[in-house]
Amino acid sequence: MTNLKLPKAGTIEIVPSILSADFARLADEIAQVESANINMLHIDVMDGHYVPNITIGPPVVEKLRKYSRLIFDVHLMLSEPDKYYELFVKAGADHITFHAETVSEPEKIIDSLHALGVTAGLSLKPEAPVETIEKIAPLCDMIMAMTVEPGFGGQDLIEQAAKKCVQIRQIVGDRVRVEVDGGINADNAARLVSYGADTLVIGNSIFSKPDRAAAIEAIRKACISST
């Protein structure tokens, strides 16, 4: 399968995170959000070591790939992402985000991901300064600012972490997507866009609603009304 590519930077994307979905009905859950005219799906991979939670591995991504044509935006919250990123690409990931502090040479992984035909990104925990990725951020296709402590859904957005998007956007310009993940809803989405984010990862505020498509549309309208 040809890997899907990220949309051009600047276009606002609402990206449902399956961390908050019903894992017993993942195919149905994905179909519901896919009907809302979205382009991307966020998949959190946690190892119980880098973050205090365990989620899914490549076999689940491979199975889900058969049921969706969405861009699989895979976030590796792993202590050793260099051992696993290729497995996730083979399973069907279209984009891989990892944390720079977990590897000795992040530039090499970015190059390797590009050679494998997928896009690459770096993620910043809420307490991590933007300066730690300043030199390598322009090599990426997307930079993620975590707006909650990684590991669990349903947390409140950390405003100071969200404001990093302003600095990230200054560094990467208009070529690289800027992603935010955690605590996002229809009330704060527009503010995040004003900071420079164009990719909004949202779990609980979508999957806790009985009508997932309506929840996505409400967030999308909030973003549009702010531009």
Q: Which residues are catalytically annotated?
A: 44, 181
**R_g (Cα) of the chain, nearest Å:** 16
3-state DSSP of the chain: CCCCCCCCCCCCEEEEEHHHCCHHHHHHHHHHHHCCCCCEEEEEEEECCCCCCECCCHHHHHHHHCCCCCEEEEEEECCCHHHCHHHHHHHCCCEEEECHHHCCCHHHHHHHHHHCCCEEEEEECCCCCHHHHCCCHHHCCEEEEECCCCCCCCCCCCHHHHCHHHHHHHHHCCCCEEEEECCCCCCCHHHHHHHCCCEEEECHHHHCCCCHHHHHHHHHHHHHHHC
Q: Assess contact for 42 and 18: CB atoms under 8 A.
A: yes
Q: Assess contact for 9 and 177: CB atoms under 8 A.
A: yes
